[in-house]
Structure 1
């Protein structure tokens, strides 16, 4: 399908698919999944676009969206494209100060919000803002502030634009759209400084469609994708747009806490995710296997061994598979593997892209062995997500796959991964100096990630800005340590510490469910969960497990001491970004006294 901008994408698909289901959402009252057809999707986008024009939205305006994943989110995005405006997504968990920064930097006059939390924060920002003029609220149950005289519910808003003048104006704007127009400005999380607005024109997404069509022929209009990550995240946004381009049905998961329930209800064939999700799946399945005894434990172990042999040793390497191996695999695939996947709700899986952070080799190997079709990739907001991912065959676990067609990658100083192509950002909004620093003289974008190339396969080794240098002059990659040690079922979260220190230490949040099970099984008495953090028997066991997990690290890379934290790191406390990445400097400053104590002689 050919088009030169996103404004007509939904309407073209509506003409093709009509009454077929485009979107699914869970009704907040009945808690049942409802369908939205392509025809209704298209019509609602039109109404949204008309209402924007009637309200006075101009070409090149920035439309803010501060919401959870909802159908209205997509209606608003594509309505803004029809008006030749651009959208600026804001994470639903963002604080008033974060919203204020983006509103002021992008000069957002019109802001769409999801639920009460977002409305309250947005109204607080509006009261002190000379920029933000109007708030549109998706959720009709939101209670407006008594002093709020300008906000309006989305359902009432879209009814205001149904007139011929607005329709004509939108049609004119849509026809004048160009692929060089800005589609969206996505603000980075700001782990090392203030957020930067990544400017992505329509051409980035059109190229994204083209190159993914080449690499993903298995994705069709018969697929159903679970909308899991926030639409403010480039991975989910780019993936959702691609699904619309392919005619895939998208199930909108509004509440992140409900994702496990949503997956079991919807049974998606597609879902993009981050490693954290699969770490939880791995931990749950591993616990089930480890708690089994006798024949069942042998059965699980043999099934995983057979799956690895079939999928990784033979199929992936293009080696002919014997009849006996095929039969054994298919028996396990339709029994043991199917049951394991049904527990999660992914037994219909076709493709599960995974990126955003390193994933453990052991977890990746396990998932592929039990025939969960995960594909690992690498990308950034600045590259419209995908730079590389696993090919169907010949992928190497531990890598981030092969480079996308049309994308150029080379290594620069310090083995920094440099990227060039039509999916790369145009600029950082309002930051010409940052933009200039981010590109090489020959036009390659500096990713800030270090990597290596081997036979056309890309490996990401570390985030350059995250590299620690010990007081002994040794460089440490904390992510590699965290990914490996974080595999342990007794560890929920881990942050490695080493910068300008004598050795590597760590802050660890234990998985209390697993810890309590261990205590009960070993008759360790405790009144409160926190009592277990100082229990010598538990600590002795955890010491040995951490040491074993670090077996392949050099001595200077190993964690020598660690402290168990009683509570997890959260976004609300400022310790994590909206994409759940650790704010290392913030954490190091906040827990400085605890960290210093680990280095006392």
Structure 2
């Protein structure tokens, strides 16, 4: 049951309702067990945080930073801060020193809570460059402090500052005086195209977004929710606050790399994720199918085909499947599909919200075919996450991002840009008046930068307007559309389309190196190292063949004509990826300028039709060559 209490008292009100029921859990890596935290304990620690912040002299609407990976302490600090009307600013756990310095100085932060050794080291090195920064508060007691550090304290020491003052009259007054238009958070965007901006999120925005999401999602106190995305990401943050408001149990996954293990240990009913996660699941399952014996392979293929017919062709469209299909699906649902879901850790699945990028249609179809209720959606930091999402009981279309949630208005501007207005839309960017005026017009419409259209009540995204490329021939190319179609190929890990002001489309590709090496060995292709393998002509012909098969539905001018395989993946260290793993195109274009130019030495692209035939040396030879699988 939804609790709409303000965040200053939410945890305490839930503790009155649920008491010793588990509010959240986390893995103890030393004992390798999941440790439960009751609502009563949650409330107790939050009160201590509030009292300690007051003891430190934290002012109303003062900015505090949390620089950590997902930990229960992140939530303790959030809600403890709300109890004294302070503002929390989460930093991505992988943030660089320059990013930390920028955010601390921009928000004039005095206190930074840090997670583990990496975050402590970065924050401590930043202190001389941050005039306002006074103290670091360290969550992990195993962090080794710098010998010259005389100001940092561990979290347990911090809690002692307010010990015995949890019922302080000032605390009660501040919690009671929280205003809906108070800032709750400032979330700094990851900046794919320019400098990072702090999006201001108020308590009203969260309050109204939570009510709107509650109206369309089947979330409740019996749900167990695995936290996978960083709390810094508005998707996970707003989603977690919704879960806590519903009385659901959070399972806080500390290390993103452990998510598959956590899924099998926690058996969650819900987990929000980005399409990249499901692309990896899809690729993993396809690889398992390939490695299965013929009987198992046939059963898995048949189960997914029946699942597609039942779930995608009938249930998602609001149609009643015929009796024969219902019987076949019931058989596979209890056998093959049940085993598949149990292997992945999804056997208790309720629903899995997915947003943050375009979902490749073949991946979305696969997830639904496997009987997993993926809820596709669309949102932004500026909209407190959800703008639209799939709804149970209403038709859903593969490729759509669902239906508009309550409290929002939507219209289309120039170039079909999606414009939004409502109480869950930000008032602007922190101390960035010019950027605010550029994003929000005089009538209060927020310009998303995303183009789309409505069809039968469902929202479809077509492209990111700023990412639209115009070829030198005057044709417009939507790179994300092409990339989402091609990235499902088993040999492609990452892909960046090149086309702006060029005569034809090309692509930089980070291949799946292990699969590529395996292919080379099976086809007796010699290579000395990864770079040599990526340059190999036969390997490039093989991948172009697969790409051409996938892009037949594209117009001729949209089709990739040349590719370059990169010997190492894009990375945050080189500035090519944001903290949310989105590609920074300008940086990639700069870092690989020579490779890009080499693809355009000859102005005339090869004829696509000539790529349809593989050289004899690359014929199937047991590989199957199932494109996209």
Question: Distance between the aligned counterparts of 1:317 and 1:259, measured in 2?
Answer: 32
Post-superposition Cα deviations, 1:164-196, rounded to whole Å, max 9, x if no partner, equal: 487222111001111111010001011111111
1:89 is aligned to: 90
Out of 317-326 and 222-231, give the one that drifted further: 317-326
Runs of 5+ consecutive residues of structure 2 not aligned to the other structure? 603-629
Within a 5 Å distance, the mapping from 1:398-417 to structure 2 comes to 398-417=399-418
Aligned-pair CA distance for 1:240:
0.4
Question: Distance between the aligned counterparts of 2:278 and 2:161, measured in 1?
Answer: 45
Within a 5 Å distance, the mapping from 1:35-54 to structure 2 comes to 35-54=36-55
2:185 is aligned to: 184
Question: Distance between the aligned counterparts of 1:529 and 1:195, measured in 2?
Answer: 35
Question: Distance between the aligned counterparts of 1:317 and 1:510, measured in 2?
Answer: 36
2:106 is aligned to: 105
CA contact (8 A) 1:23 1:37 kept: yes
Runs of 5+ consecutive residues of structure 1 not aligned to the other structure? none
CA contact (8 A) 1:54 1:166 kept: no
Post-superposition Cα deviations, 1:455-479, rounded to whole Å, max 9, x if no partner, equal: 2211111111111111111111111
Question: Distance between the aligned counterparts of 1:172 and 1:247, measured in 2?
Answer: 26
CA contact (8 A) 2:428 2:440 kept: no
2:365 is aligned to: 365
1:134 is aligned to: 135
CA contact (8 A) 1:53 1:166 kept: no
Question: Distance between the aligned counterparts of 1:524 and 1:341, measured in 2?
Answer: 37
Alignment partner of 1:21 is 2:38:
no
1:281 is aligned to: 281
1:553 is aligned to: 554
SS of structure 1 residue aligned to 2:9: helix
Aligned-pair CA distance for 1:433:
1.6
Q: 1:480 to 1:26 in 2, by over 3 A?
A: same
Alignment partner of 1:427 is 2:428:
yes
1:346 is aligned to: 346
Post-superposition Cα deviations, 1:350-391, rounded to whole Å, max 9, x if no partner, equal: 111000000101110111011111111000000000000112
Question: Distance between the aligned counterparts of 2:581 and 2:50, measured in 1?
Answer: 33
Question: Distance between the aligned counterparts of 1:590 and 1:533, measured in 2?
Answer: 17
Aligned-pair CA distance for 1:519:
2.6
CA contact (8 A) 1:228 1:271 kept: yes
2:532 is aligned to: 531
Alignment partner of 1:252 is 2:252:
yes
2:66 is aligned to: 65
Question: Distance between the aligned counterparts of 2:193 and 2:540, measured in 1?
Answer: 34
Post-superposition Cα deviations, 1:498-547, rounded to whole Å, max 9, x if no partner, equal: 11111111110110122123234334344434433233433222111000
Out of 251-260 and 409-418, give the one that drifted further: 251-260
Aligned-pair CA distance for 1:123:
0.8
2:598 is aligned to: 597
Question: Distance between the aligned counterparts of 1:383 and 1:534, measured in 2?
Answer: 44
Root-mean-square deviation (CA, aligned residues, Å) is: 1.4
Q: 1:406 to 1:453 in 2, by over 3 A?
A: same
Question: Matched residue pairs, number?
Answer: 600
CA contact (8 A) 1:4 1:179 kept: no
1:114 is aligned to: 115
CA contact (8 A) 1:4 1:178 kept: no
Out of 35-44 and 500-509, give the one that drifted further: 500-509
SS of structure 2 residue aligned to 1:65: strand
Aligned-pair CA distance for 1:156:
1.1
1:330 is aligned to: 330
Question: Distance between the aligned counterparts of 2:3 and 2:18, measured in 1?
Answer: 16
1:439 is aligned to: 440
TM-score (norm 1): 0.98
SS of structure 2 residue aligned to 1:427: coil
Question: Distance between the aligned counterparts of 1:152 and 1:335, measured in 2?
Answer: 54
Aligned-pair CA distance for 1:2:
5.3
Post-superposition Cα deviations, 1:190-222, rounded to whole Å, max 9, x if no partner, equal: 111111110010011111111111101x21111
SS of structure 2 residue aligned to 1:6: coil
Question: Distance between the aligned counterparts of 1:498 and 1:42, measured in 2?
Answer: 54
Q: 1:4 to 1:434 in 2, by over 3 A?
A: farther
CA contact (8 A) 2:184 2:201 kept: yes
Question: Distance between the aligned counterparts of 1:320 and 1:452, measured in 2?
Answer: 28
